[in-house]
Structure 1
Amino acid sequence: MAFFALWSYVLVGCFSISTAEIETFNLSALYPPKWEESPSQFSNYTSQNGKYVVNPWVYPERLGLYKILLSKTAKYFQRFGKDNEQNPLWGLPLQHGWQYSSGRLADPTRTTDCGYESDPLCISEDSWWADLNYFLCVLPVLGAVDSGIMGISSDQLVLLLPPKDGLRFCNSVSSCQSSYPETMKKWKAFYQNIQLPFTSFDDNLKYLWAAHTSTLEETLKKFEDRFVYYSNPEVEFEKAWCVSVDYFASLHLHTTLIRIHEFQRGLPSRILVNEDKIPFIKDFSDFQNIFLLGLDTLYKVDSASGLTQQRYPEL
């Protein structure tokens, strides 16, 4: 375990940021792509019969759910920093924004135009990244609705399912509680904890990471068939990313706006192809190559130890 802790600290330590540096950031420049154009309140979505209808298979509409979530929870993090920068939920929309900008939400089969030049805002249900991110959007949002933080009742929000594989996805508080009861409990516990007057920031992170890792553990197995759509290096990166999340969680990685923005500088800016050889990818920075090497090493050693198979048999 000492090796895993060492590599985790190395990866996270690359992004240490001082208080003085934080003061120099223009926060709005760090927001995910199209943040300003995405819905900022439920009334910005289509309304039918008193219900808000959201299509989470369109990038700005899924992003808008995060934006509302960040807004509704802002008051609980005011004492930790100004301008909602210390809200630990920032990690979720920033990850979604990276997936969008790196082309990982597009149709990996290339049998449709979803996510490409003629339909750039479309999110493909055949994308492994998009499918897992769906649950890392919908479960946190519905957990917040169930906790009362979002200001609407559970029957006021309608989430559209994808056209082909709708049965793989839950889309309401009741259906997600039925399919993922333990994970929904953990998201609700996080929201209950942040409302306590004297809860610590690290305690908030503990609850957040417990819900995050539970989401991956419960949903990852549903989409292993998507791996066939990607190159071997991309599949290895996908698996390494899942494994690394457990170690970031154990360290209570701060998932605040500035820290995750800086952290994501190490992530690949495009989908990996078979010709890519880590850490010698020519169009990636030295920093990206080193970061990918760290993830790959962590994954391989974790797999060799048998720990990966215990948590994620499908990997």
Structure 2
Amino acid sequence: MAFLPFWVCVLVGCFSVSLAGPSSLSDLEPPLWKESPGQLSDYRVENSMYIINPWVYLERMGMYKILLNQTARYFAKFAPENEQNILWGLPLQYGWQYRTGRLADPTRRTNCGYESGDLMCISVDSWWADLNYFLSSLPFLAAVDSGIMGISSDQVSLLPPPKNQRKFCYNVSSCHSSFPETMNKWNTFYQHLQSPFSKFDDLLKYLWTAHTSTLEDTIKSFEDRYDYYSKTEAHFERSWVVAVGYIAAAHFPTTLIRTYNFQKGLPPRILVTADVAPFISDFTTFQNVVLFLLNMLGNMDKSTGYLCTEKPSEYSGPLESSSRDYGNNS
């Protein structure tokens, strides 16, 4: 269908505009990356069990950091310094959510995530935080289950939030029970990752399959969170999920440099009712254009229902990238 390649080209092509390269790869790391746990022994241990509190920013970021560290050896053949590790997209997106205030309590009933309270607190009322919970816990626990972490599957437990505990899973066993197909897709990704014959583009395919499955499995559980935001932000949230489906179909390479440049087009703060793209004065032109396109995509989805009922087919046009793109910021 011609519709898919057109929107893939508009969205992903827009995100891939040429931008100045970084002076150092460490400049691209998400907020507080260096302060986050880098190994399992940095977490609390009880009865040989690693206890992680994913409702604290640094502890959840540590899950990503350990995942990047433990998978680095599998991406070394594609580029140095772990830059081509396609798992970078997860912590960078999480870091953007933190930097823009999207992990804080949107109801303002608590000080969770605010300077007046605890900046490291992640609110269970945040739509962004709840979906990201599964985009951190499921890939992390699947990596444990796949043997990449070097520990047994029953040696990690995640702490529950202060409420809505039944909406979440907390260890390998419970996540497999709650989301068997999605956990299997993450396991499939790691199985191919550990193969000496793995190809970069194939890994992208398996990663995006697991990523989109995670969203499909969990998004309906948090639709009530939309009411906590302005209509403008809630519309952006819905549009973002639609866009992810297209970005996934394009097999966008979620490497460090690509994802960092990609996120320069995303809103730098939570949207308010008065925000109308492409005329938001404190946004860059790039951010205004990207938000305008995302809103158009969301409006089309709402009016036609096409994107909600039919997955975008894979697109293997010129936007599909490979490891040869290392060092190319365009």
TM-score range, shorter chain: over 0.9
Deviation of residue 25 (structure 1)? 4.1
Gaps of 5+ in 2: 312-330
The answer (yes or no) to whether the contact 2:15–2:265 under 8 Å persists in 1 is no
Q: TM-score, normalised by structure 2?
A: 0.91
Residue in 2 that maps onto 1:285: 284
Matches within 5 A, 1:235-274: 235-274=234-273
Question: For the structure 1 residues 311 and 60, does the alpha-carbon distance in structure 2 shift closer, same or farther, using more than 3 Å as the test?
Answer: farther
Which of these residues, 70, 73, 83, is aligned with residue 81 of structure 2?
A: 83
Deviation of residue 284 (structure 1)? 0.5
The answer (yes or no) to whether the contact 2:301–2:308 under 8 Å persists in 1 is no
Which of these residues, 43, 66, 87, is aligned with residue 68 of structure 1?
A: 66
Residue in 2 that maps onto 1:184: 183
State the secondary structure of the residue aligned to 1:276.
Answer: coil
Matched, 1:7 2:7: yes
Q: Which amino acid aligns with 1:157?
A: V
Question: 1:242-291 CA deviation, whole Å, 9 max, x = no partner?
Answer: 00011001100000000000000000011000011111111101100000
- Find runs of 4+ consecutive structure 1 residues off by over 3 angstroms: 15-18
| Deviates most, 190-199 or 83-92 | 190-199
Number of positions where the alignment pairs a residue of Structure 1 with one of Structure 2: 310
The answer (yes or no) to whether the contact 2:53–2:159 under 8 Å persists in 1 is yes
Deviation of residue 302 (structure 1)? 3.0
Deviation of residue 59 (structure 1)? 0.2
State the secondary structure of the residue aligned to 1:53.
Answer: strand
Q: Which amino acid aligns with 1:146?
A: D
Deviation of residue 207 (structure 1)? 0.2
The answer (yes or no) to whether the contact 1:136–1:215 under 8 Å persists in 2 is yes
The answer (yes or no) to whether the contact 1:5–1:247 under 8 Å persists in 2 is no
Residue in 1 that maps onto 2:156: 157
Q: TM-score, normalised by structure 1?
A: 0.95
Matches within 5 A, 1:115-194: 115-117=113-115, 118-194=117-193
The answer (yes or no) to whether the contact 2:167–2:221 under 8 Å persists in 1 is yes
Matches within 5 A, 1:40-119: 40-117=38-115, 118-119=117-118
Question: For the structure 1 residues 296 and 17, does the alpha-carbon distance in structure 2 shift closer, same or farther, using more than 3 Å as the test?
Answer: closer
Q: Which amino acid aligns with 1:107?
A: D
Query: For residues 15 and 220 of structure 1, what CA distance do their matches in structure 2 show?
Result: 24
Query: For residues 250 and 268 of structure 1, what CA distance do their matches in structure 2 show?
Result: 23
Q: Which amino acid aligns with 2:98?
A: Y
Query: For residues 151 and 20 of structure 2, what CA distance do their matches in structure 1 show?
Result: 38
State the secondary structure of the residue aligned to 1:155.
Answer: coil
Higher share of residues assigned helix: 1
Gaps of 5+ in 1: none
Q: Which amino acid aligns with 2:113?
A: G
- Percent identity of paired positions between Structure 1 and Structure 2: 61
Residue in 1 that maps onto 2:324: none
Query: For residues 129 and 196 of structure 2, what CA distance do their matches in structure 1 show?
Result: 36
Residue in 1 that maps onto 2:35: 37
RMSD, aligned CA: 1.6
Residue in 2 that maps onto 1:16: 16
The answer (yes or no) to whether the contact 1:115–1:121 under 8 Å persists in 2 is yes
The answer (yes or no) to whether the contact 2:86–2:204 under 8 Å persists in 1 is yes
Deviation of residue 306 (structure 1)? 2.0
Deviation of residue 6 (structure 1)? 1.5
Query: For residues 158 and 70 of structure 1, what CA distance do their matches in structure 2 show?
Result: 19
State the secondary structure of the residue aligned to 1:154.
Answer: coil
Residue in 2 that maps onto 1:226: 225
